Every structure is written in C-alpha cells, then in structure tokens.
Amino acid sequence: DAKTTQPPSMDCAEGRAANLPCNHSTISGNEYVYWYRQIHSQGPQYIIHGLKNNETNEMASLIITEDRKSSTLILPHATLRDTAVYYCIVTQKLVFGQGTRLTINP
C-alpha cells in the first residue's frame, strides 16, 4: 500500500515557484519524508528530506505541516530542466507511488 498521495500531474510557468503537495497521513513519528525526482530515462535523483522541521538546500525547500501529515516541496524558480516526475516517500516502507508529473512551461 502506498503511504503517500500526490496529484498525478501539475503545470508551472518557467521562473515561477512550483509547489508540489504530498499527503502522508499515516506517517509514524520516526519516519522521514524524502523527495526524489526522475527525469525521463534516468534513475531517481535525491532532492531533499526532513523529519519535522522545514528544510532548504540548493535545489528546493521542504515545508512539513506541524502534524506531519502533509508536506510541500517548493522549487523557488522553476526552469525547463525541472520537468520530471516527483516522488514523495515516507521511509521504512520505501513505497514510491506514481508521483507527480511536473511540466514546466516556457
């Protein structure tokens, strides 16, 4: 059983912020939220992860709600190269689900 729920697809204009939601209502207290993305024909690429605090790195920001039942991945200034399938996973079960296909439009 997938432990996360994501919209199947989203569109975003180039240069704008892309906000990708993920629901993980059954997350346990010691489980991390990880985000990966997969560009066509490549292996998944790590983006960011967090436990309960918001996190930021050079690629993205991760906002986790206080109850930890959902999170949002933010790509602050999306480029065409950010077009990919984005996966939110909750560790321990390593279930990827079908992810969100993000399309960045020029």
Partner 1 sequence: GAGVSQTPSNKVTEKGKYVELRCDPISGHTALYWYRQSLGQGPEFLIYFQGTGAADDSGLPNDRFFAVRPEGSVSTLKIQRTERGDSAVYLCASSLGYQETQYFGPGTRLLVL
Contact set with partner 1 (CB under 8 A)? 32, 34, 36, 42-46, 49, 85, 87, 91-99
Min dist. Cβ of residue 27 to partner 1 (A): 13
Min dist. Cβ of residue 7 to partner 1 (A): 14
Given phi > 0 = left and psi -120 to 50 = alpha, else beta, which region is 59?
alpha
Nearer to partner 1, 13 or 98 (CB): 98
d(CA 65, CA 51): 10
Nearer to partner 1, 42 or 53 (CB): 42
d(CA 34, CA 92): 11
Say if CB 47 and CB 29 are below 8 A apart: no
Nearer to partner 1, 20 or 99 (CB): 99
Min dist. Cβ of residue 13 to partner 1 (A): 25
Min dist. Cβ of residue 15 to partner 1 (A): 28
